[in-house]
Amino acid sequence: MTKLDTRRPMPEDEVDLFLAFAQNEYRLDLSFYRKTFLGRRINVRMDAVEVNNLTEYLNLLKKDTQEWKKFLDNLSINVSEFFRDPEVFSYFKDNCLPGIFKNKEETGFKRIHCWSCGCSCGEETYSLAIMFREYSGRKNRDFFIKVSGTDVDQDALTKAKEAKYRQQSLGKVTPVILEKYFDNLGNDIYQVKKEIRESVDFKTHNLLTDNLIPNVDIIFFRNVRIYFNENKAGKILLKIYESLRKNGYLVLGKVETLGSLKNLFEPVSINNKIFRKI
């Protein structure tokens, strides 16, 4: 059993103390984070530096700006993998892409923009680019498909651009896809092939402060909502709604919900958390 397993969940009043500390000492408002999430992240750092209680940790944070930086870094957890929840990608490819392509064909506007929002180190973004390539192959060559990945974490984006991954991120990639879209560089490292790398772009983007990308057809906003409290998550989802084109698709993480914004979207697949803008 790890220390993390044995540590009790942080009581809300202690998280409040931490929030007041961040505000007073570092002028940082962290109140939009879920308290349970913050409590867990504080516990992670307290374990890492081996302090026994919050008072000790706050004393350390007062004098050690490096530890403050580490705390901030650990707020942004970048856990991801290629084709995370693979059934979502296959459902989307088989049931949503045909309609999207058909509508575009009918309007004559053959551009599709897909946004992986909170893309971590690029695994989701490249999975989407591969999904498109697998769907459209040669028959839709005259379509212009843009896949963008954005994240607040610069280090994650640097890794995304390098596109080099270890086997552990590739567990859900079938041997055929691995062979087709990855170069085996040896030493357990695989790099996404150039043709896929060139079909995506990555940018720094903070969901809390930056303007959203307009006129997007598909937004994958998965496993990012967990960071924010209901109020902030609602505001971010509203911005996402506005950045989607009419009938645009929104895909959330498997355990995430639309909360108070559910009337703005119609469910396409409840199980796969796929919604369409009304």
Ligand X SMILES: C[S@@+](CC[C@H](N)C(=O)[O-])C[C@H]1O[C@@H](n2cnc3c(N)ncnc32)[C@H](O)[C@@H]1O
In whole angstroms, how far apart are CA 92 and each of 71, 147, 249, 271? 37, 15, 10, 12
Subset of residues 17 to 46 that bind ligand X, contact rule: CB under 6 A: none
User: For ligand X, which is the closer residue by CB, 91 or 143?
Assistant: 91
Q: Is 207 in the site for ligand X (CB under 6 A)?
A: yes
Task: Supply the minimum distance, in Å, between the C-beta of residue 204 and ligand X.
Answer: 9
Pick the binder of ligand X from 31, 36, 76, 140 (CB under 6 A).
Answer: 76
Task: Supply the minimum distance, in Å, between the C-beta of residue 95 and ligand X.
Answer: 20
Contact criterion met (CB below 8 Å) for 213 and 201: no
Q: Is 169 in the site for ligand X (CB under 6 A)?
A: no
User: For ligand X, which is the closer residue by CB, 40 or 104?
Assistant: 40
Residue 49, SS3 per DSSP = coil
**DSSP-assigned letter for residue 94:** I
Contact criterion met (CB below 8 Å) for 228 and 236: yes
Subset of residues 211 to 230 that bind ligand X, contact rule: CB under 6 A: 222-224, 227
Pick the binder of ligand X from 88, 129, 152, 237 (CB under 6 A).
Answer: 152
Q: Is 206 in the site for ligand X (CB under 6 A)?
A: yes
User: For ligand X, which is the closer residue by CB, 173 or 224?
Assistant: 224
Tell me the site size for ligand X, rule CB under 6 A. 23
Q: What is the DSSP string of 234-256?
A: HHHHHHHHHHEEEEEEEEE-TT-
Residue 70 CA to residue 47 CA, distance in Å, equals 13
Which residues are bridge partners to 203 per DSSP?
150
Residue 26 CA to residue 65 CA, distance in Å, equals 10
Residue 201, SS3 per DSSP = strand
Residues that bind ligand X (CB under 6 A): 76-80, 84, 118-120, 124, 151-153, 156, 205-208, 222-224, 227, 253
